[in-house]
Amino acid sequence: MPPSGPTNFDEMLDPAGGVRPAYAGFRNWYDEQAPAWLKRQDAEAERFFRRTGITFNVYGDDAGEERLIPFDMIPRIITAAEWRKLTRGIEQRVRALNAFLHDLYHRREIVRSGRLPQRLLDKNVAFLPQMVGFTPPGGVYTHIVGIDLVRTGPDEFMVLEDNARTPSGVSYMLENRETMMAMFPELFTRVPVRPVSDYPRRLAQSLAACAPACAGERPVVAVLTPGIYNSAYFEHAFLADQMGAELVEGSDLRVINGRIAMRTTRGFEPIDVLYRRVDDDYLDPLSFNPKSSLGVSGIMDIYRAGGITIANAPGTGIADDKAIYSFMPEIVEFYTGEKPILQNVPTWRCAEPESLKYVLDNLKELVVKEVHGSGGYGMLIGPTSSKAELAAFEKKLRARPENYIAQPTLALSTVPIFTKAGLAPRHVDLRPFVLVSPTGIDITPGGLTRVAIQKGSLVVNSSQGGGTKDSWVLED
Amino acid sequence: MLGRSAHGIFWMSRHLERAENTARLLDAGFRLALTRSQHAATSEWKSVLVTIGQDAAYRQRHEEYNGQLVTNWILRGRDNPGSVVNMIEMARSNARSVRTALTREVWEATNESWMVLREMLARPVKAGNLGEALAAIRRQATLVRGAMDGTMLRNEIFNFARIGTFIERADNTARILDVKYYLLLPSVSLVGSSLDNAQWDTVLRSVSGERAYRWLNAGAMDPRGIASFLILDGRFPRSLASCYQKLRSNMASLTQQYGQTGPAHDLLRDAGDRLDQLTIQQIIEYGLHQFIGDFIVSNRQIADAVARDYRFSN
């Protein structure tokens, strides 16, 4: 199957070559601009990002080498009506995710009812026994979710991944908008776009609303980062800065009087809500990886005793397991009593013999992913892989089938990018950012659009050379 | 604020200040070498290295002192931890680790300095473009300082930045005096001696003080006057007295915000009082070299005490 063909939904142009309504205002503006000026602005954007230090460390590159995520200045545009439907679907999904996580760590009704096989939880490293029987403050597990959506048709959005653990990329959503507004201010006076800039304020409020009972009137929120060599350090610093929260590292924290406290110039001060960007495994050397120096010894005990809120809750990673993902339609229905509004991508669970057979027979047409993988690492894209790569992957599949799921190569929608030769369609996905607190679910209009910069490529991950775009939701 | 952030911003400021002062020192050495005999130039380059405490490390790599080798070692020596390029790198790394304590403009100025200087110093610096390179270093440092001055809230974060700056500046000025004291020494008691004017010029140039001094003294080069100018004249921003005035006001501001003082405040008060009360005559009678040596030690003790009082580390 050709990765890019007539079946791909072009979000800007209809099959007759006419501009779709979502892009009408933008295209009018775009066509009035001098091509030479647009080229200059395009070059300017890169300089802007370098200067502000928005960089991304890619694992495997030279230690600490910072790379820019390519930014494309053509916005990705969603109409108000499309967005309304999306938000309903996202809300439903996020409610189900939280109910599911609570159930998994308590009575496991969904397993008892026979809708989810017990074996998916047994020996699953993402399932944390330390969370069993414990309910996080406010009952919230996934304080921040970044659901990855792909579009395959005019009215077809599918969920590719739920990212209930630690979704990243929100700083790019904010900076991309800043950059666009700085580069093309008059464009925003002509096309009414819903703002995203109050995300940090909403994040701060949402986190504060999840504070434990022991917190004061103004809960103290801190962002926990693994440090400046982490690939998303820029984002950690950016969010802390925008929220007016402290950016802490494990070495700044210790347990004092039943609380987690940070070493300040005035002494140790307790933290109420810790927005941690450190994986579960590194969070507490006493409970998890004993070699970790990124976390805080004893934080799990304090957490279970109600001394701090950890966002997202430890153990939410189980919901990102790709085998669990394949049960999301059942999960949504089980906890909400409704049909899922957003569809899953059809998924073959290689643990099941008949699925494995199908996957092996059709490897060249499929995308195969590790159940615990993320970031586009360790996956196979059948149509673009060589015979040798396919053969190597077949071996892995046969050796550990339960470690993999497979999905069809989707006809991802395209949005144009700016190239020296003019506009050219490229594949995109969309990651809206969702905040969850006892006071409600809050979805910022837009999100992060990731775009495959190479012609025909379906891989949008920034760790694999993908770029980003500003994502617009139009006002009604 | 976090103790680690206070530490980061303190050292970011120190590294920037040191990079800038190193550029001044090189500029002075370069001028002297241009106008002097081979022998005098060699000893001048050596004294530049001694001043910044890099002579021993340099000699492990190089056998001779010449402008090309010394300037490149100091500006861009990859294996020289004190090279300007490494110092800018450290300043930027400190800034990155305290990103949330800085305004966007300060961060961007620091990041830009790093980009500009790293690129400029990627290739060997020749005599023909040394002046330009040194000017660029001073300009970038000025940019960061300007962004700090113009955009940062006057709170503890700003105070820690300033304390770092003035601790470092006082140290650097003292080191220049320490290395050059022998030039001043034989003549301080001999009023009107005809020592080499170019040497005096170098000392003043190393701290960008030549014009200020001439303006204040109508061009007369007097060793005692120069020593007094660099140590005691509170009007000159790189003098020890001026640095300590600024240190005291920033520490006083911390006292106000924290409502208490610690050992660092006591040490600073004592050191500041000494500078206030001493005359240049007393310093010379005590011994200029001895005085400077004491000052450098006491300055370091104050820095250490600040780090302890404000929990820079565990």
What's the pLDDT tens digit per position in A138-158?
A: 999 999 999 999 999 998 999
Distance CA A366, CA A57 (A): 30
Asked if B33 and B45 count as a contact pair (C-beta separation under 8 A), the reply is: yes
Sort out which chain B residues have CB atoms less than 8 A from A51's CB and list them.
108, 111-112, 115
Q: What angle do CA A337, A338, A340 make, to 5 degrees?
A: 130
pLDDT for residue B197 is more than 80: no
Question: Could you tell me which chain B residue has the CA closest to the CA of A239?
Answer: B100
The distance of B118 to chain A (nearest Cα, Å) reads: 14
Q: Residue B184's pLDDT is what?
A: 61
Question: Which member of A237, A249, A267 has the closest CB to residue B99?
Answer: A237
A17 reaches B (C-beta below 8 A) = no
What's the pLDDT tens digit per position in B217-275?
A: 876 777 788 889 999 999 999 999 999 999 999 999 999 999 999 999 999 999 999 99
What's the pLDDT tens digit per position in A450-470?
A: 999 888 887 777 667 789 999
Asked if A51 and B111 count as a contact pair (C-beta separation under 8 A), the reply is: yes
Nearest to A171 by CA among A196, A149, A192, A148: A196
Q: What angle do CA A104, A110, A116 make, to 5 degrees?
A: 95
Residue ranges of chain B whose CB lies within 8 Å of a chain A CB? 1-6, 93, 96-97, 99-100, 104, 107-108, 111-112, 115, 156, 258, 310-311, 314
Q: Which of A55-64, A110-119, A446-455 has the lowest mean pLDDT?
A: A55-64
Nearest to A150 by CA among A464, A364, A473, A459: A459
Distance CA B116, CA A233 (A): 22
Distance CA B297, CA A280 (A): 46
**pLDDT greater at residue A48 or residue A468:** A468
Q: Tell which of B99, B258, B312 to mutate to test the A interface (max A CBs under 10 Å).
A: B99
A-to-B residue pairs, Cβ atoms closer than 8 angstroms: 61
Asked if A443 and A35 count as a contact pair (C-beta separation under 8 A), the reply is: no
Question: Could you tell me which chain A residue has the CA closest to the CA of B261?
Answer: A266
A240 reaches B (C-beta below 8 A) = yes
Sort out which chain A residues have CB atoms less than 8 A from B2's CB and list them.
246-248, 252, 262-265
Mean pLDDT of A273-301: 91
Pairing of strands A440-443, A56-57: unpaired
Q: Looking at beta carbons, which pairs linking A105-111 to residues 24 or more positions away fall under 8 Å?
A: A105/A131, A105/A132, A105/A133, A105/A134, A105/A315, A106/A132, A106/A133, A106/A135, A109/A334, A110/A330, A110/A331, A110/A334, A110/A335
pLDDT for residue A5 is more than 60: no
A247 reaches B (C-beta below 8 A) = yes
Q: Residue B246's pLDDT is what?
A: 97
Nearest to B73 by CA among B16, B29, B9, B132: B29
Question: Could you tell me which chain A residue has the CA closest to the CA of B310?
Answer: A265
The distance of B12 to chain A (nearest Cα, Å) reads: 15
A233:B2 CB<8 A? no
B4:A240 CB<8 A? no
Peptide bond into B250 cis (omega under 30): no
The distance of B147 to chain A (nearest Cα, Å) reads: 14
Return the CA Rg of chain A: 22
pLDDT for residue B193 is more than 60: no
Residue A156 sits at φ, ψ, to 5 deg, of: -115, 105
pLDDT band at residue B191 under the 50/70/90 scheme: very low
Distance CA A67, CA B79 (A): 24
A246 reaches B (C-beta below 8 A) = yes
**For residue A122, what are the contacts with CB-CB under 8 A and spacing of at least 6?**
none
Q: Residue A63's pLDDT is what?
A: 39
Asked if B210 and B28 count as a contact pair (C-beta separation under 8 A), the reply is: no
Q: Which two tokens stand for residue A396?
A: 């892995």
Q: Residue B303's pLDDT is what?
A: 98
A52:B314 CB<8 A? no
pLDDT for residue A220 is more than 90: yes
Distance CA A261, CA B107 (A): 28
Asked if A163 and A320 count as a contact pair (C-beta separation under 8 A), the reply is: yes
Please give the torsion angle defined by the CA atoms of residues B255, B257, B259 and B261, in that order, rounded to the nearest 10 degrees.
Answer: -30
Q: Residue A1's pLDDT is what?
A: 39
Mean pLDDT of B191-199: 56
- Residue B168's H or E segment, with its range, is helix B156-188
The label of the residue with tokens 């063909």 reads A5
Question: Could you tell me which chain B residue has the CA closest to the CA of A251?
Answer: B314
Q: Which two tokens stand for residue A35?
A: 């091509």
Question: Could you tell me which chain A residue has the CA closest to the CA of B160?
Answer: A265
Q: Residue A2's pLDDT is what?
A: 41
Mean pLDDT of A217-230: 93
Distance CA B166, CA B164 (A): 6
What's the pLDDT tens digit per position in B114-163?
A: 999 999 999 999 988 999 999 999 999 999 999 999 999 999 999 999 99
Sort out which chain A residues have CB atoms less than 8 A from B157's CB and list them.
none
pLDDT for residue A4 is more than 70: no
Give percent of chain B with pLDDT exceeding 70. Answer: 94
Query: Side chain identity at A103, as an amino acid letter?
Result: D
Distance CA B225, CA B233 (A): 10
Domains of chain A as residue ranges with CATH:
21-345+410-473 (no CATH), 346-409 (3.30.1490.270)
Sort out which chain A residues have CB atoms less than 8 A from B156's CB and list them.
265
Task: Tell whether ipTM is more than 0.85.
Answer: no
A293 reaches B (C-beta below 8 A) = no
pLDDT for residue A61 is more than 50: no
pLDDT band at residue A3 under the 50/70/90 scheme: very low
